[in-house]
Structure 1
Amino acid sequence: MESIILRALVVYILVFIILRMAGKRTLGEMTAFDLVLLLIISEAVQNALVDDDKSITGSFLVVLTLVFADVMVSLATNKFRFLDSVVNGIPLIILENGKPLQDRMDKARLQEDDILEAARKTQGLENMDQIKYAVLEKDGSISIIPFHLNENGIKPDIIKEP
Structure 2
Amino acid sequence: MAMRAVVVFMAALALIRLGSHRIFGKNTAFDIVLGIIYGSVLSRAITGNSPFWPTIAAALTLVLLHKLLAILAFKTNSGFGNLIKGKSQELVKDGQLQWDVMRSNSVTENDILEALRHAGHQPDISTIAVACLERNGDISIICKE
Q: Give the TM bin, normalised by the shorter chain.
A: 0.5 to 0.7
* Equivalent residue number for residue 51 of structure 2: 55
Structure of greater Rg: 1
- Structure 2: gaps of 5 or more residues: 1-26, 29-34
- Letter matched to residue 76 of structure 1: L
Q: Distance in 2 between matches of 1:53 and 1:79?
A: 39
Structure 1 portions without partners, runs of 5+: 1-26, 29-38, 149-162
8 Å CA contact retained: 1:123, 1:144? no
Superposed CA RMSD in Å reads 2.8
- Normalised by the size of structure 2, how large is the TM-score? 0.64
Give the distance between the partners of 2:53 and 2:134, measured in 1 at CA: 39
Please name the residue that 2:67 is paired with. Answer: 71
The count of residues paired between Structure 1 and Structure 2 equals 108
Aligned-pair identity in percent equals 25
- Aligned residue for 2:71, secondary structure, equals helix
| Pairwise CA distance, 1:78 | 0.6
Shift of 1:125: 2.1
Alignment of 1:4-153 (within 5 A): 54-81=50-77, 82-148=79-145
Distance in 1 separating the partners of 2:123 and 2:91: 17
Amino acid at match of 1:75: I
Question: Post-superposition shift, 1:94?
Answer: 0.8
Q: After the TM superposition, which segments of 4 or more aligned residues of structure 1 sit over 6 Å from their partners?
A: none
SS of residue paired to 1:140? coil
Scaled by the length of structure 1, what TM-score is found? 0.58
